Structure 1
Amino acid sequence: MASVRDGDASGVPVRVYDPAPGSAGRPLVVFLHGGGWVMCGIGTHDATCRRLAAGSGAVVVSVGYRLAPEHPWPAAADDALTVLLWARAQAGALGCDPRRVVPAGDSSGGNLAAVTALRAPELVAGQLLVYPPLDAAAAPAEGRGPGTVPASGSGPASGSGSVSAYGEGYFHTTAHMAWYWEQYGGDPAHPYVSPLRARDVSRLPRTLLVLADCDPLRDEGLAYARRLGAAGVDCTVHLYPGVFHGFLGLPLPAARTALTAVTAWLRATE
């Protein structure tokens, strides 16, 4: 990176990665880290953000959103939107085009990126979702609290193929996911908790979904892709066989391949 600096975006901590100061008109990525809304932060995803910026030429703004359970929903989602608005306002000063802003994230950060796009579709040029949880009701019922709703035709049931096949023994388990949802809170039927349950996704921007085949969340991602495609949204799915949830941050051939594809997609954002 030519420039990496920590800052404040309307009260939310951020780290800004600029691979080429002085450039203009570039994409601007608002990156939301994973960690089940309860763990990780700007530091844990530093390498990922550097790779995204270096490969795409985009400025990447990594968001230090508030974590659950001390700050349950909608704190993280609100912080994500706050930084998106800040980033658009600062786009010119950062050498970016405000019409090329892309919310992005992995795992729970992918959920936040999807929610941000749903909340402000007119402000974003794309959304990059890396193995995101998209339906709180797809997790096992225990521990989800009084807001629980049954899985329905809007998303995969808890007995879907990926949940049954990869719910245990592949790093990220359905038990983990149920606990994360419990800490995060919110009504599982609300689209800003469970984007897969949004009634209208037709206004969403071009989308790239990066999915791991050996992941209980795989079918949620595929279901979202089908919904977007049926609504006329330009949606691309990259499904990587033989890898598990979290693979993008690991030194694996699939991660290198995925990063190359992701950065090419970001460069093409208009």
Structure 2
Amino acid sequence: MKYGRYITHSALITQSYDMTSHSSEVRLKALSLLRSGSRNADVARALNVPLGTVSYWLHVDRSKRGACPGPHNPRCPRCDGRPLDEAAYSYLLALYLGDGHIIQYSQHRVPSLMIACGDVWPGLMNECEAAVRAVFPDNSVCRVRRTGCHNVKVYSKHLWCLFPQHGAGKKHDRPIVLEPWQQRIVDTHPWKFIRGLVHSDGCRITNWTTRMVGGQKKRYEYPRYFFTNKSDDIRKLCSDTLTKVGVEWTTLARGSDPFNISVAKRPSVALMDIHIGPKY
């Protein structure tokens, strides 16, 4: 079933089956009609073939003939010296360290980057997609529906170049160290990096306590920020960057696990509110 321009996993499975179940004669007939200018939908109806299958056949045909729209060989800031939107990259790098992963299926020649964004924060999802588009201006970006969230997704053969922290296994089970060029970008755009970390694995909450004032119990509320990650290296990247921008922080252990970085002092919370604020 389709939702706008996004396709569910079950629909992709159906399309994959349909693409292999039609004879070469039908496919060649479809390509002949498409090359003559017929619309995808008209060809699908005429040949009783799913629209997604016709679109896929057209894409493959264009690729083989070098006729795909847009750049055929997207350039890379690391390999080709293409300009990089460093502010967007600093934010996207933090999102990747928190909720991102790179994967390459055997049937795909190009790996994909996916950033998981919760549906309860549509503004955050929009900001994530804008950052992906800014960092990969020559590549198509889409959202893949999942339960309670969407994966903001982009394919690029240069993902390894821009995210060298990729590796086998979970991030907290292996070293996460920024390369010098990445650290320079984070130092130049520290608030973008902190914003991405909070948007991925952080939150702004309101705590409360009670005090006796004049013999009466009064309730006091105060905001604070948390960043939670099991990786010692990623937490250190967060705390080091907070220190550089003048934010005071403490480690708050859950049991014996020091997985939480807390920002609770009023001046630091006020500074975070200027640059970060609640998720939205």
TM-score by length of 2: 0.30
Structure possessing the higher relative contact order (Cα contacts under 8 Å, 6 or more residues apart): 1
Larger radius of gyration: 2
TM-score by length of 1: 0.30
Q: Which structure carries more helix by proportion?
A: 2
